């Protein structure tokens, strides 16, 4: 008998589909074994299907290639599945957590439903289409289309609109009487806490119950609230008579919970809310749902900022895009929770879920870890003045609010981001004013809809830093909370314009609460600078930028919060710059590796003691030093929230320094080779430390020095940047030639004409290479390049790219600067190396095209006079972008 039970048990285990029956619901995981085709199967012949699992996107690879654009069109998915006979007595739905962006669902060839919008969940009712035949086989086919549609927001935005069923899908079979599955993709229960104080918390449950029976039924609805210890703190039982075929709303006002344990970032205490439907006569359970809630009260004060549970609270956090290196937007849920752990560990207390609703796992993690949040719909940059567009926006707002209503972490609903960034009808002011009026009309409609659906939270719009249009159109007066996305010192030239803007706004609108909803600077993890400047993409400039913004907003209580753009680097296919297709404003890299700026915030915000040598991420360096000294002075930065840090270099104490503005910093003598650093601090009797090893390759200034064995050099012209390539090449910035050393003679650094966007170089994608920074800067009008290297055999590679006539499309986000015409420069020149001709009538643009990498290599023998490269103009000015010289033994 025992053996029989065991075999029976095994049979159950191995034959059971991935489904889970609980509380009258059968939930089946539908993520595995789909067939997918990147074609519109309805129109194509000879279709090739591949097997995939969900979540899935078809754009992982093409958003990173050098071909502009990515596949935006229809693709199909299909899958066979079975249903059991007892589903005949149930109502069966498919639940898509998201698919981008237009989705049509067919069951056994018949259309079962469709959904518009790529960022919210939706249910599809499939009972009428199911087959209960002998083989019990059903087929689901799904058409997903991410093509541009002028009626579906977002129309344009600085992120990639990855297509696909990129979140989970499940099949949910419920009893004939059940919580509604057709209320904007929500679960049919809405928990409100209309009044919360330290003494008591009121709870209202609103819900919708569907009766798909043919007769009316009397039911009991029981709501029970339990604390984390499992003790019931409130309970209510009410009766309803539900007519057949009806979706019936109900409301339950529970007795206040006394002395509620309040929810806050420091103490994210959650209560469990169980709501159950039972048949009044038999007492049989028909459906049940479990949600979490938290008790907190909050308000925004226009002068003093944000208050939570009666205490002033500066909101500091990040925005988050949902994509990840190697996965696009199709992520396992765990990665959403991991992002919140990273934010929490940094000491942040706020998340702007931008620019669209994301996986429920994200807000679940916010609830559990204590992160306050705003969520918004993807109405970005511009609108379409059509009823369909308006209705889609309203529907997205409803879906967002209904689906995320129960998260205690959410305090704000947003609905427009930088909506005046791409104003239509620039040449027709009269028509433009109608367009603006239509934007204001839509904003008012979304605002009042949000307040009606949820009177307990704030509404918000995030504006870009061009104050006047928002003022003139009256948009500032619509939401309860005004967000400003400010980039002075990044796109705008002068960083000190930030405090001026903030104070000006507050003076004009002293009664309207505000947040700094975005600020950030790109940091390409491969780029460093000892002379950082705006837009150079260096780690060093980005850290300076964040230090400045953080201190300015902390000085101003009326700035309720500051939200860094962005938690992590994210894909934006149309972007070019040093790392094409990426927006590098993340505090974390795309793979979530923290950058120095992350540790800056950790120093300023976290209460958990830590020490981190942030310079360790620049762990392979090259720099110039005087041959005689044998060392080279190098910056070492240590982020910490401790008072003082002691630094050791190669086990010798360098000294102790106070942590200021997030860092203790030194300039210390590194020797050639490995340099061991350790940093130590203490909090009370506890010690905290970090260690790192940094490899330095000293490039002696004097190339002929006998003590120095010259092996090679990689030089970038027209820039102050250091660049570490993926292949391990360490590039350093050029200098003016001096006797005995190396450097250029004549010319000046290339700058984009008519643009103050970049201090030097171009931000055009150099297609055909991943080492864009090698080609994006250059010395224009160069006469010579000299390297006084010792005699021997050498390999010389000259790197060129024609940068003129290579205007990158204007960055829409570039607020104060526009790049106008960049006429193609005609240039033809000869290059001589130690008097032999290396390149003759060299015309980069004509022979290779614009912004294409061109590498010219020669092997040569150098005698006593070193190496001299001469440039002779035939037409226009000669250029050189980069140079590599290697000694061959």
Check residue 577 for interaction with ligand GCB (CB under 6 A): no
The CB-of-444 to ligand GCB minimum distance in angstroms stands at 21
The CB-of-461 to ligand GCB minimum distance in angstroms stands at 12
Could you tell me whether strands 410-417 and 372-376 are parallel, antiparallel, or unpaired per DSSP bridges? parallel
In order, the DSSP letters of 460-494 are EEEEES-HHHHHHTTGGGSSSEEEEE--BTTTBS-
99 to 128: interface string for ligand GCB, x by CB under 6 A = ------------------------------
Single residue of 79, 457, 585, 799 touching ligand GCB by CB under 6 A: 585
Nearer to ligand GCB, 322 or 417 (CB): 417
Check residue 822 for interaction with ligand GCB (CB under 6 A): no
Check residue 690 for interaction with ligand GCB (CB under 6 A): no
| Cis, bond preceding 451 (omega within 30 deg of 0) | no
Phi-psi map region of 538: left, alpha, beta (phi>0 left; psi -120 to 50 alpha): beta
Nearer to ligand GCB, 583 or 675 (CB): 583
- Contact between 706 and 510 under an 8 Å Cβ cutoff? The reply is no
Nearest residue to 483 (alpha-carbon basis) of 356, 315, 336, 346: 315
62 to 101: interface string for ligand GCB, x by CB under 6 A = ----------------------------------------
Nearer to ligand GCB, 157 or 553 (CB): 157
The CB-of-485 to ligand GCB minimum distance in angstroms stands at 4
Distance of CA 467 to the CA centre of its chain: 25
**What part of residues 702-721 is at the interface with ligand GCB (CB under 6 A)?**
none
Single residue of 178, 184, 464, 852 touching ligand GCB by CB under 6 A: 464
Nearest residue to 409 (alpha-carbon basis) of 457, 373, 440: 373
Nearest residue to 287 (alpha-carbon basis) of 207, 345, 356: 207
Nearer to ligand GCB, 160 or 409 (CB): 160
The CB-of-463 to ligand GCB minimum distance in angstroms stands at 9
Q: How far is it, in rounded angstroms, from Cα 261 to Cα 21?
A: 33
Nearer to ligand GCB, 599 or 813 (CB): 813
524 sits in which H/E element: none
Nearer to ligand GCB, 101 or 223 (CB): 101
The CB-of-727 to ligand GCB minimum distance in angstroms stands at 28
Nearer to ligand GCB, 485 or 614 (CB): 485
Nearer to ligand GCB, 481 or 801 (CB): 481
Identify the three-state secondary structure at position 617: helix
The CB-of-478 to ligand GCB minimum distance in angstroms stands at 18
The CB-of-626 to ligand GCB minimum distance in angstroms stands at 41
**What part of residues 158-197 is at the interface with ligand GCB (CB under 6 A)?**
158
Closest-by-Cβ residue to ligand GCB is 813
Check residue 565 for interaction with ligand GCB (CB under 6 A): yes
Q: How far is it, in rounded angstroms, from Cα 660 to Cα 604?
A: 10
Torsion of CA 609, 614, 619, 620, to 10 degrees: -170
Nearer to ligand GCB, 24 or 520 (CB): 520
Nearer to ligand GCB, 180 or 375 (CB): 375
The CB-of-571 to ligand GCB minimum distance in angstroms stands at 11
Check residue 574 for interaction with ligand GCB (CB under 6 A): no
Check residue 722 for interaction with ligand GCB (CB under 6 A): no
The CB-of-160 to ligand GCB minimum distance in angstroms stands at 11
The CB-of-548 to ligand GCB minimum distance in angstroms stands at 17
Burial string for 681-690 (b: 16+ CB within 10 Å, else e) reads bbeeeeebbb
Q: How far is it, in rounded angstroms, from Cα 836 to Cα 834?
A: 6
Single residue of 485, 603, 641, 769 touching ligand GCB by CB under 6 A: 485
Nearer to ligand GCB, 29 or 466 (CB): 466
Query: Residue 257: CB partners within 8 Å, gap ≥ 6?
Result: 200, 201, 203, 225, 233, 234, 271, 295
Angle between helix axes 596-605 and 539-554 (nearest 10 degrees) is 30
**What part of residues 600-629 is at the interface with ligand GCB (CB under 6 A)?**
none
The CB-of-416 to ligand GCB minimum distance in angstroms stands at 11
Check residue 417 for interaction with ligand GCB (CB under 6 A): yes
Nearer to ligand GCB, 392 or 417 (CB): 417
In order, the DSSP letters of 136-161 are -EEEEEEEEE-S--TTSS-SS-SS--
Terminal Cα distance for the chain, rounded:
81
Nearest residue to 597 (alpha-carbon basis) of 567, 619, 571: 567
Nearer to ligand GCB, 93 or 535 (CB): 535
Phi-psi map region of 763: left, alpha, beta (phi>0 left; psi -120 to 50 alpha): alpha
Distance of CA 259 to the CA centre of its chain: 39
Nearer to ligand GCB, 417 or 459 (CB): 417
Q: How far is it, in rounded angstroms, from Cα 675 to Cα 631?
A: 11
Nearer to ligand GCB, 485 or 634 (CB): 485
Nearer to ligand GCB, 542 or 885 (CB): 542
Q: How far is it, in rounded angstroms, from Cα 272 to Cα 250?
A: 20
Single residue of 470, 688, 794, 813 touching ligand GCB by CB under 6 A: 813
Number of other CB atoms surrounding residue 712 within 10 Å:
15
Contacts with ligand GCB by CB under 6 A: the residue count is 11
The CB-of-868 to ligand GCB minimum distance in angstroms stands at 44
The CB-of-518 to ligand GCB minimum distance in angstroms stands at 5
Number of other CB atoms surrounding residue 6 within 10 Å:
10
Check residue 583 for interaction with ligand GCB (CB under 6 A): yes
Could you tell me whether strands 611-613 and 631-640 are parallel, antiparallel, or unpaired per DSSP bridges? antiparallel
Q: How far is it, in rounded angstroms, from Cα 584 to Cα 520?
A: 9
Query: Residue 694: CB partners within 8 Å, gap ≥ 6?
Result: 615, 616, 618, 619, 620, 621, 634, 670, 674, 675, 677
- Contact between 414 and 462 under an 8 Å Cβ cutoff? The reply is yes
Q: How far is it, in rounded angstroms, from Cα 510 to Cα 460?
A: 17
Identify the three-state secondary structure at position 170: strand
The CB-of-317 to ligand GCB minimum distance in angstroms stands at 16
Single residue of 518, 690, 771, 877 touching ligand GCB by CB under 6 A: 518
Handedness of CA 602, 608, 613, 618 (dihedral sign): negative
The CB-of-120 to ligand GCB minimum distance in angstroms stands at 19
**What part of residues 269-298 is at the interface with ligand GCB (CB under 6 A)?**
none
Check residue 418 for interaction with ligand GCB (CB under 6 A): yes
Nearer to ligand GCB, 126 or 157 (CB): 157
The CB-of-568 to ligand GCB minimum distance in angstroms stands at 12
The CB-of-751 to ligand GCB minimum distance in angstroms stands at 21
Tell me which residues touch ligand GCB (CB under 6 A): 157-158, 417-418, 464, 485, 518, 565, 583, 585, 813
């Amino acid at each position: 008998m025992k053996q029989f039970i065991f075999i029976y048990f095994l049979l159950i285990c191995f034959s059971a589909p991935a489904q889970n029956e609980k509380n009258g619901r059968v939930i089946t995981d539908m993520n595995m074994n789909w067939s997918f085709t990147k074609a519109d199967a309805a129109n194509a012949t000879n279709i090739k299907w591949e097997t995939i699992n969900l979540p899935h996107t078809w754009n992982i690879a093409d958003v990173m290639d050098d071909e502009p654009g990515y596949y935006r069109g229809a693709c199909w998915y299909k899958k066979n599945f079975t249903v059991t006979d007892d589903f005949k007595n149930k109502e069966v739905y498919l639940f898509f957590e998201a698919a981008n962006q237009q989705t049509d669902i067919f069951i056994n060839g018949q259309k079962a439903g469709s959904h518009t919008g790529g960022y919210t969940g939706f249910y599809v009712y499939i009972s009428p289409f199911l087959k209960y035949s002998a083989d019990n086989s059903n087929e689901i086919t799904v058409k997903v289309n991410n093509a541009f549609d002028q009626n579906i927001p977002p129309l344009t935005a600085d992120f990639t609109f990855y297509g696909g069923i990129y979140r989970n899908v499940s099949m949910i079979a419920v009893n004939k009487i059940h919580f509604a599955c057709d209320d904007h993709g929500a679960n049919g229960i809405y928990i409100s806490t209309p009044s919360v104080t330290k003494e008591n918390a009121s709870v209202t449950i609103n819900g919708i119950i569907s009766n798909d029976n043919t007769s009316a039924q009397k039911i009991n609805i029981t709501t029970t609230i339990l604390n984390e210890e499992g003790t019931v703190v409130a309970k209510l039982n009410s009766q309803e008579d539900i007519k057949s075929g009806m979706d019936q709303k109900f409301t339950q006002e529970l007795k206040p919970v006394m002395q509620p344990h309040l929810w806050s970032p420091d103490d994210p205490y959650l209560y469990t809310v169980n709501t159950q439907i039972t048949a009044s006569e038999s007492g049989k359970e028909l459906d049940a749902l479990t949600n979490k809630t938290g008790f907190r009260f909050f308000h925004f004060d226009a002068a003093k900022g944000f208050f939570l549970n009666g205490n002033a609270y500066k909101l500091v956090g990040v925005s988050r895009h949902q994509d990840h290196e190697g996965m696009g937007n199709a992520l396992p849920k765990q990665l959403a929770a991991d992002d919140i752990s990273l934010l929490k560990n940094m000491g942040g207390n706020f998340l702007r879920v931008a620019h669209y609703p994301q996986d429920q796992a994200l807000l679940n993690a916010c609830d559990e870890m204590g992160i306050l949040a705003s969520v918004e719909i993807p109405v970005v940059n511009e609108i379409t003045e059509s009823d369909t567009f308006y209705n889609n926006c309203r529907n997205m707002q409803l879906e967002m609010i209904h689906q995320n209503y129960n998260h205690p972490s959410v305090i704000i609903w947003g609905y427009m981001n930088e909506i005046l960034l791409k104003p239509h009808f620039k040449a027709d002011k009269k028509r433009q004013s109608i367009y603006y009026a239509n934007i204001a009309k839509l904003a008012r409609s979304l605002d009042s809809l949000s307040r009606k659906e949820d009177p307990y939270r704030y509404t918000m719009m995030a504006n870009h830093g061009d104050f006047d249009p928002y003022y003139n159109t009256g948009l500032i007066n619509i939401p309860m909370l005004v967000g400003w996305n400010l980039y002075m010192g990044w796109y705008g030239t002068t960083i000190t314009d930030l405090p001026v803007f903030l104070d000006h706004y507050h003076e004009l609108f002293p009664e309207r609460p505000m947040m700094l909803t975005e600020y950030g600077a790109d940091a390409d993890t491969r780029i460093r600078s000892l002379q950082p400047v705006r837009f150079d993409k260096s780690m060093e400039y980005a850290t300076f930028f964040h230090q400045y913004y953080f201190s300015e907003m902390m000085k101003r209580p009326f700035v309720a919060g500051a939200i860094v753009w962005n938690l992590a680097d994210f894909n934006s296919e149309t972007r070019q710059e040093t790392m094409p297709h990426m927006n590098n404003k993340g505090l974390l890299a795309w793979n979530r590796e923290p950058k120095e700026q992350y540790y800056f915030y950790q120093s300023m915000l976290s209460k958990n003691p830590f020490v981190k040598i942030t310079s360790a991420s620049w762990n392979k360096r090259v720099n110039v030093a005087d041959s005689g000294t044998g060392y080279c002075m190098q910056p070492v930065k240590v982020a910490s929230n401790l008072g003082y840090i002691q630094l050791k270099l190669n086990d010798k104490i360098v000294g102790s320094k106070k942590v200021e503005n997030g860092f203790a910093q030194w300039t210390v003598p590194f020797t050639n080779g490995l340099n061991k650093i350790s940093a130590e601090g203490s909090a009370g009797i506890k010690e905290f430390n970090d260690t790192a090893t940094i490899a330095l390759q000293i490039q002696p200034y004097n190339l002929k020095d006998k003590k120095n064995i010259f092996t090679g050099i990689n030089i970038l012209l027209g820039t102050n940047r250091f660049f570490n390539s993926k292949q391990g090449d360490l590039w350093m910035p050029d200098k003016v030639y001096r006797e005995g050393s190396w450097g250029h003679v004549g010319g000046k650094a290339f700058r984009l004409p008519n643009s103050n966007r970049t201090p030097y170089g171009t931000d055009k994608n150099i297609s055909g290479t991943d080492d864009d920074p090698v080609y994006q800067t250059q010395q224009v009008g160069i006469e010579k390049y000299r390297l006084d290297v010792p005699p021997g055999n050498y390999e010389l590679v000259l790197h060129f790219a024609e940068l003129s006539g290579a205007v990158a499309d204007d960055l829409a986000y570039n607020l104060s600067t526009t790049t106008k015409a960049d006429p193609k420069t005609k240039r033809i020149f000869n290059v001589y190396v130690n008097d032999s001709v290396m390149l003759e009538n060299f015309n980069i643009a004509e022979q290779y095209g614009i912004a294409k990498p061109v590498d010219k290599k020669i092997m040569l023998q150098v005698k006593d006079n070193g190496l001299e490269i001469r440039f002779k103009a035939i037409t226009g000015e000669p250029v050189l972008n980069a140079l590599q010289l290697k000694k061959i033994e």
